[in-house]
Chains A and B, each alone.
Chain A
Amino acid sequence: MSVGKHGMVFSEPLLFELKGGGKSGMDLPELDLPLIDAAELLPAEFLREAAELPELSEPEVVRHFTRLSQWNYSVDGGFYPLGSCTMKYNPKVNEVAASIEGFANGHPYAPYGCNQGIKRLLFEFEQDLAEISGMDAVSLHPAAGSHGELTGMMLIRAYHLDRGDLKRTKVLIPDSAHGTNPSSASVCHLESVELPSGPDGLIDMEALDRLMDENVAGIMLTNPNTCGLFETNIERVCQLVHERGGLVYLDGANMNAMVGVTRPGDMGADVLHFNTHKTFSTPHGGGGPGAGPIGVKSLLEPYLPRPVLFEKDGRIEMDFDRPKSIGKVRSFYGSTGVLIRAWTYIKTLGAEGLREMTLWAVTNANYLKARLAGDFHLPFDSQHCMHEVLLTDKFQQERHVSTMDLAKGLIEAGFHPPTVYFPLVVSGALLIEPTETESKETLDHFADALLELSKKSHEELAELPKMPPVGRVDEVLANRKPILRWQPES
């Protein structure tokens, strides 16, 4: 493979194809003992041949990964309006915070007192999340949003089982929900029942009334929902579910539309999760790590994963003695490094800043809606949108231009596409979430680009993108003949 491609865009072979041989890119600390050969200590049948890892010097490794990085689009590099993903700016101070020596080295089993600082920080973070959401208690254990969903649904099941209510094995989930909702319900053996949306994109109260019976453990709903709409009947929904013995799970994916303005706890939610990598600015990292703290009302508090943090005599302690706890859902106490970043964000913005964040996230989305309405079909227009706006390709389809064409065209124009073909309740969805950290100038450039693309023909768009280091990628081939690892040439 050639090194230069076009201009300064480089092609880069796989790590394993780089010329190796006898090199190492890392010095181990000096050992003040003679190194013992493993064969002297361990039975021969326990031992392996050396793993065929690359043999490269430090500069070769650094250049390889630096080149790979240059093939990625990123929030720091440009507008990333993925709906329901909240791709906001990830502040640099958060990164510094998480890498401070005492945090980076802190061992979870260190003796008494060593981890008092990090425990204090986590305790403060729990209190702030409880205040933001209007819930009574918070657990930081879950490793990501969907893990928080699973933990939350486990709490709901544990609550019913503890009361001897064994028949509640179903959960109602609106058809506009993220796929993680029904999937999380399945993992803790709850059967998903789809709750259809009404013509206005909101929960259909009649359907809820019909489906909410004594076999239903609860409802999982997202508010604002994935159509970018606030569920105006939220209090009635929660009331009806509660009256019939169910509990309400609120998917906090869209908290960026609510912080400082309204609180799920006040609406009637019994349990919710937060996505720190959405609302609280921790980086997505190309897919993770996330963190998925959950908040609960007091009726679910006894079931929280253990241990639980509490304050005693000015110190933060861990309570392991929780007889009704569902137990642990992971090792140790959560994605601490991620939580430190989120703490830093909340403390940086403070109460005023958090409210501003929400106001401008919603303003930015409505500004884009105002710029694009008319040229794009708005499937639901009964209210101002919240932090994201849902459009479809209905008008463009009249000329056979699809959402996918527009998405690939946006890449050519230098923007990451919005979320496409989700939610599933409309055909050809484009779900656009600008976040509060984008300027009007950027929003205008994006709107101009999208409006221009929407006037092009399918034939013109089908050839795009031309600019990125690769052309349209053959996903069909990747699925028909999966190649999931490099193999040495035999």
Chain B
Amino acid sequence: MEVRAELKYTEEHEWLSIQGNKATLGITDFAQNKLGDIVFVELPEVGTIVEAGETIGNIESVKAVSEIFCPVAGEVTEVNKDLEDEPDLVNTSCFDDGWIVKIRIDSSDLTDANLMSDEEYTQHCANE
């Protein structure tokens, strides 16, 4: 299982890459592995305003659906359109080409978002 040191993680297995007021969100290697072959990613529309903890989309395998949670409030500024035709990018490149959305956030909200470091997340997965 791959975990990257520069990212933040949620209990629901999303990763966030944060640069100032911009966050990129995807699902972790642990999550994609557990879901198996991903067949469809339901993306939000650009411009959607999300509350912290809200669902912004779904990831589907043949026989399971997993919701994508956004741990921090913000506005969706970009979605990964490549996933419409190639949902398996989430399997093959979950931290890079398989990113899901980009969100404009208020970085001061991050303290409340309960995000984990790579080490904390590794421990979290071990407990599952």
Contact = CB atoms under 8 A, between A and B. Distances in A.
Nearest to B62: A475
A476 B39 CA distance: 6
Contacts of A475: 62
Contacts of B39: 476, 479-480
Contacts of A421: 63
B87 interface: yes
Interface string A459-487: 00000000000000001100110000000
A480 to B, nearest CB: 5
Contacts of A480: 39-40, 87-88
Interface string B54-84: 0000001011000000000000000000000
B97 interface: no
Interface residues of A, number: 5
A479 B37 CA distance: 10
Interface in B18-76: 37, 39-40, 60, 62-63
A476 B60 CA distance: 11
Contacts of A479: 39-40, 60, 62
A480 B39 CA distance: 5
A421 B60 CA distance: 17
A14 B39 CA distance: 26
Contacts of B37: 476
Nearest to B37: A476
A462 to B, nearest CB: 15
Interface centre among B39, B60, B88, by most chain A C-beta atoms within 10 angstroms, is B39
A421 B62 CA distance: 14
Interface in B87-102: 87-88
A476 B61 CA distance: 8
A476 B88 CA distance: 10
Nearest to A479: B39
Contacts of A476: 37, 39, 62
Residue with the greatest number of chain B CB neighbours at <10 A, chosen from A421, A475, A479: A479
A476 B63 CA distance: 10
B85 to A, nearest CB: 9
Contacts of B88: 480
A459 B63 CA distance: 23
B58 to A, nearest CB: 13
B128 to A, nearest CB: 13
B43 to A, nearest CB: 15
Interface of B: 37, 39-40, 60, 62-63, 87-88
13 contacts: A421-B63, A475-B62, A476-B37, A476-B39, A476-B62, A479-B39, A479-B40, A479-B60, A479-B62, A480-B39, A480-B40, A480-B87, A480-B88
By Cβ-Cβ distance, the 8 closest A-B pairs, closest first, are A479-B39, A476-B37, A475-B62, A480-B39, A479-B62, A476-B39, A476-B62, A480-B87
